Every structure is written in structure tokens, then in C-alpha cells.
Structure 1
Amino acid sequence: MQNSRDVLTPDALAMLQSIAQAGSFAAAARTLGVVPSALTYRVRQIEDALDVLLYDRSSRKALLTDAGAELLREGTRLLADIDAVANRVKRVATGWESQLTIAVDSIIAKAIVMELCEGFFALAPLTRIKLRDETLSGTLEALTSGQADLALGVVATSNQNGILSKPLGDVNFVYAVAPHHPLASLTGVLTDELIQQHRAVAVADTTQRGNGMTFGILGGQDVFTVATMKDKLDAQLRGLGCGFVPECMARAYIETGRLVVKEVERAQRVVRINYAWRGSNKAGHGRALQWWLEQLSSPATRAALLQQHRGV
């Protein structure tokens, strides 16, 4: 019988990831281009070697047992470690990381990120770039969990060792509603009691740990939750709710009257937005990360990432 080292290969761990992501053996088989029986056979090999059951056979879905869930968690970590080792070896040999993953918060101007990518690729580097869309504390979590090397748009920085950060700038938030929203025609300062009677639009935090961050939501208030800051702005333009929005993203709509800024009794929100990266010193950075940090050292670049929103 095969032992655990024979069956717990990177390919086998990646297969378990595929089954978990697809939700069933049949769907995973289609994704991987194999027949379902082949996946079932490989899973049974792992189960026999470890003398455990990884999946609940009483369900038609690929439901993991506790042992299977633990193997998936540890397998995911091991695959990330393997990728990190390959990345470090590549960096030692060439100075370029094999891949640089950047977590981009939805408050960041994506067009400017793309312009930076264009400038980076013009160097003909050996590094692939991967962008991750994140929101609120999920942006920093992508960095601290090792899923990203650089994070743009971090609201709260981390005290963890190996995480460094610098400010991109401050973002002013204004309370805005569509001109046809019931709150638009009211005069004077809007009280919390009055605001509570109307639906708020909130952006979902992409963190995988805890409940994440929430801003500007009153207790008992109806909430419409969307995926990104761009979606929040779109919802408020349609009159689907109200709430604080970044002035830099809403400016054009305020100037043309498609959004109306209202004064509220709560203090005006000004949020410090940062960028953060992993690594204790510049000497230890690969050439790709060094290039991005050099671009971010420019005040004009930092301002553009927060201010130059296009086609929102």
C-alpha cells in the first residue's frame, strides 16, 4: 500500500482544491479534463494511505469530512509555500519574482493601476502580474495571509512583522443621494433618526476572517450590500439607497447634479488610505516589487491612484 508521501503530491493537493472549488467530482472532472472515476480513484488512494475518509459518501455533493477539511487547509498552505519557494529561487537567479500579486482595493482608480501595469510590461520583465480585487480589511488580509505581495488602498495598517506601509493620501467622504431620493429635497442637517428610516448602501468587506469593517451604518437601518465602491456609487445614482461616498469618485456626478450632497449631524469622514507590502528591507525585494515601490514614491502617482477615477 502506498504511504502518505507517495500520495500527498502537489498534483493531488491541487486536485482536492479543484474539487472544493467546483463543488462536485463531476464538475471538477470537467474542469480538469478527466473522467469522474479518475478523480474518485485518486481520492481513494489518498484515503487508503492516510486511513481516513476525506468525503462524506452519503451526499451527492463533494462534502468534506473534518479530516478532509483539515487536509484541504494544510494542502492549500503547502501549495502556497511551494509557490513561494519557486518564487524565491527565481528571484535569486534573476532578481525578478516569478509572479507579483497586487491586492487592489475598490477605492483605487483601476485605470491608473492599468497604466502602471502598462509601464511595467514595457520593461519586458520576467515577472507575471496578478491583480486581486479586494475591499476594506480584505485588502490588507490578502497581504498578511501571503496571498499578495503589495496592497493598494489599505485602510488600517498592520503591526505584524514584515508588513510595511506608507500613505497614499487622504480621501474625503461626503453623504450623497440621488436628486429623486426622498432625502434630497429636505433642508437643513439630516439627523441620524431621519437617515435611519432610509436604506443605506454598503460595500461588502472581502475579509475571510471575522465580520470585517462597516462604516456609516446605523443600528436597525435597512442595508443594500454591494461588492465594490463603484457598485455603491451606481446604486446611489439610481436612488436605491444613501450613504457616504468618496468625494473623488462622486465629484463628476455632484458637479452635474446627478448626486446631491447632504449635511449630516455626524462629523465629515476623512480616511487615510495606505499602500503596504511584505518585506523587511529594500535589499530583500525582487526587482518587480522595487519597481512598483519606486512608482509609488511619486506624489503624482499616489494622488492619481486616489483621484483619477474614470468611467465610474
Structure 2
Amino acid sequence: MKLSFEVLEALDAIDRTGTFAEAAETLHRVPSSLSYLVQKLESDLETPLFDRSGRRAKFTHAGRVVVEEGRRLLQGAEELERKVQRVKQGWEAELRICIDEILPFDAIWPHVRAFYEASIDTRLHLSREVLGGTWDALITRRADLVVGAAGDPPNVPNLAFRSIGSMRHVFVTSPDHPLAQLPEPLTMETVARYRGAVIRDTSRELLPRTVGAAATQDCISLPTLASKLAAHIEGLAVGTLPECLATEPIARGELVARQLIGMRDVTHFYLAWREDETGQAMRWWLDRLDLPDLVDRFIGYRYA
């Protein structure tokens, strides 16, 4: 490789100070050593980096390109050195955080902002998973930390988890749907005669879960909670929704809530991670998110 960080630092210093002599003083070197570095690079690249026709050498266009692009390389090298030191001190190079689809994604931004304001170099990767996909993401190492993992935790080694609250669900239909006219309480057998709407579980290795649908019910599989809500409002399907999400459509007359025998109306959620891989960045996030009422805080953020 013809370029080196040594010569890039020399060119940067020459550009900042204006002369070889001042650059050499800044770098604690003799001017002749800088001249040698520059002339060798010009020879290797077969391109002049300085115009020496005047009393004072000036960068050529090619020299200017080398200086500006070289600064980016120098900055990248400095950042890499800092990251290596932080890894040595127990800070992860990256942290993958997965938020369950049922929680409002916007509620994570204040925490992300605080993380960056703390000048932590760990790179964040944020993602979404659905139902058992949160547990699956942790087990298959697509995520290091999951926020809002639903249902019973799987029995796997080194899995740590904390309860962060629960969420109530209601069974809804459009006002014009046949189920809206039947006397309550409805039974699962009656509901199974009509099309349901479920969010597609994103599990890859764990057995996918289905919530709020009868075993024999014909269902439309949807990618997001928003699309599930829309399907209910359109009268295309029936099913359960988080009570906090259904309240306003019910008040507007777009949906009606129906009592359903045998429906599990509360879901419990967890913060989960692998306790054998807990670095400083993970501990930072756990300190902020390990709260028994985190679900309520996230939901409250949506309506703040």
C-alpha cells in the first residue's frame, strides 16, 4: 500500500499550519523528514501533490484530494482506536436492541438520545419482531436485548429476564359485522365461523405463536399492528387489539368491543437478554429499561 497514516498526518499538518517547517514542529519532527515522506509518496503515486513553481509550495488538485480524503481515514482510525479501548474496558462494539411490534417504537427515542449524549461509541442496531419472534431473535442472536418479549420465557441456558408490565386486550369487530349484532358473551365456537386477523409471528427457529384466534378459524396474516387495526375497522376480520389502541376507534364508532368467553385478555411482557454476554452498554440500557411499569411508560409516550 502506497499510503500510510504517517504521511497522511504529515499532509494534514502541512495544510493546517501552512508550511513544512511549522508542520514539522507540530509533529515534533525535522522538516527534511516530512519532505522525504511527501516526495516518496509523489514518486509512488506518480503524481505531484504540491505545486512548487512559486515561492511557497501549494497543494495541487490531486494533493488536495489526498489531504481531504486522508483526514477521513485518520478520523476513522482514531475512532477505531477509541472503540478498541472501550471494548477493552468492557464496552461492546455494537448492541442490537429489538422492540416488540406491540409497543410504540417512538418511545425508544428518548433513551437513544440519552445514549448518544453520553458519548458512548457502541453502535446501535434497532429492530422489530412480532410475538415469539422477540424470544427467537434473542436465542438466535439476532438481538442482544429485547424489549417487550411476550408470553412465557423459553427454557434456555443463560437467559435473563425481568417483568416490565402487562397489557389488556379487547375483542373487537366493525359495527356492521355480524358478530356485532349477536348477544353477549360470544363463544370461541361462534367467533371461529368468521375470518380473524393475526399479526404474523417472526420466529425463525421457535414454534410460531398465534394470539387471539381460534384453532379452526380462517385468518388473514398481517405484518403490523397498524394493519391489523385497519383490517378490523374495514370489517374484513375480527380479533383482539390492545385496549389502549382500540379505545379511540371504539369512541369514534369505528369499532365495537364484544365480550368473549375463553379469551385471554392480559398479556405479560419482559425485558430479556443473555446474562453471560452483558457488557457496559448493555448495563447502561438495563439501568434505564429494567422497570416494572415500562410497558405503561411506553404506552403513555404514545398518547403524551
**CA–CA distance in 2 between the matches of 1:162 and 1:305?**
27
**CA–CA distance in 2 between the matches of 1:134 and 1:228?**
10
Residue 105 of structure 1, aligned match among 100, 109, 116: 100
Aligned residue in 2 for 1:134? 129
Contact 1:177–1:259 (8 Å) recurs in 2 = yes
**CA–CA distance in 2 between the matches of 1:164 and 1:274?**
10
Q: Deviations over 1:112-163 (max 9, x none)?
A: 0122212222222101111121011110111111221101111221332221
Q: Deviations over 1:287-310 (max 9, x none)?
A: 221111111134554422245435
Q: Secondary structure at the match of 1:245?
A: strand
Contact 1:296–1:302 (8 Å) recurs in 2 = no
Instruction: Please give the residue correspondences for 1:33-72 in structure 2 after superposition, counting only pairs within 5 Å.
Output: none
Q: Does 1:305 align with 2:294?
A: no
Aligned residue in 1 for 2:189? 193
Contact 1:169–1:306 (8 Å) recurs in 2 = no
TM-score, normalised to structure 2, is 0.66
In structure 1, stretches of 5+ residues that fail to align are: 1-87
**C-alpha spacing 1:139/1:90, structure 2 compared with 1 (3 Å):** farther
User: Which amino acid is the alignment partner of residue 284 of structure 2?
Assistant: W
Contact 2:165–2:293 (8 Å) recurs in 1 = no
Q: Secondary structure at the match of 1:146?
A: coil
Aligned residue in 2 for 1:117? 112
**CA–CA distance in 2 between the matches of 1:140 and 1:119?**
26
**CA–CA distance in 2 between the matches of 1:178 and 1:246?**
16
Contact 1:248–1:307 (8 Å) recurs in 2 = no
**CA–CA distance in 2 between the matches of 1:220 and 1:301?**
35
Contact 2:164–2:269 (8 Å) recurs in 1 = yes
Aligned residue in 2 for 1:271? 267
**C-alpha spacing 1:302/1:290, structure 2 compared with 1 (3 Å):** farther
Q: How far 1:286 moved relative to its partner?
A: 2.2
Aligned residue in 2 for 1:57? none
Aligned residue in 1 for 2:67? none
Q: Which moved more, 1:89-98 or 1:136-145?
A: 89-98
Q: How far 1:169 moved relative to its partner?
A: 0.6
Contact 2:95–2:124 (8 Å) recurs in 1 = yes
User: Which amino acid is the alignment partner of residue 225 of structure 1?
Assistant: S
**CA–CA distance in 1 between the matches of 2:229 and 2:208?**
20
Q: Deviations over 1:56-79 (max 9, x none)?
A: xxxxxxxxxxxxxxxxxxxxxxxx
Q: Size of the alignment, in residue pairs? A: 221
Q: Which moved more, 1:247-256 or 1:108-117?
A: 247-256
**CA–CA distance in 1 between the matches of 2:248 and 2:165?**
20
User: Which amino acid is the alignment partner of residue 226 of structure 1?
Assistant: L
**C-alpha spacing 1:266/1:298, structure 2 compared with 1 (3 Å):** closer
Instruction: Please give the residue correspondences for 1:1-312 in structure 2 after superposition, counting only pairs within 5 Å.
Output: 91-155=86-150, 156-209=152-205, 211-280=207-276, 285-299=278-292, 301-309=294-302
User: Which amino acid is the alignment partner of residue 146 of structure 1?
Assistant: R
User: Which amino acid is the alignment partner of residue 105 of structure 2?
Assistant: K
Q: How far 1:268 moved relative to its partner?
A: 4.1
**CA–CA distance in 1 between the matches of 2:95 and 2:131?**
21
In structure 2, stretches of 5+ residues that fail to align are: 1-82
Contact 1:109–1:304 (8 Å) recurs in 2 = no
Give the number of the structure whose alpha-carbon radius of gyration is greater. Answer: 2
User: Which amino acid is the alignment partner of residue 145 of structure 1?
Assistant: T
**CA–CA distance in 1 between the matches of 2:215 and 2:251?**
32
**C-alpha spacing 1:191/1:302, structure 2 compared with 1 (3 Å):** closer
Q: How far 1:96 moved relative to its partner?
A: 2.3
Contact 1:200–1:223 (8 Å) recurs in 2 = yes
User: Which amino acid is the alignment partner of residue 309 of structure 1?
Assistant: R
User: Which amino acid is the alignment partner of residue 204 of structure 1?
Assistant: R
Q: How far 1:182 moved relative to its partner?
A: 2.4
Q: How far 1:200 moved relative to its partner?
A: 0.1
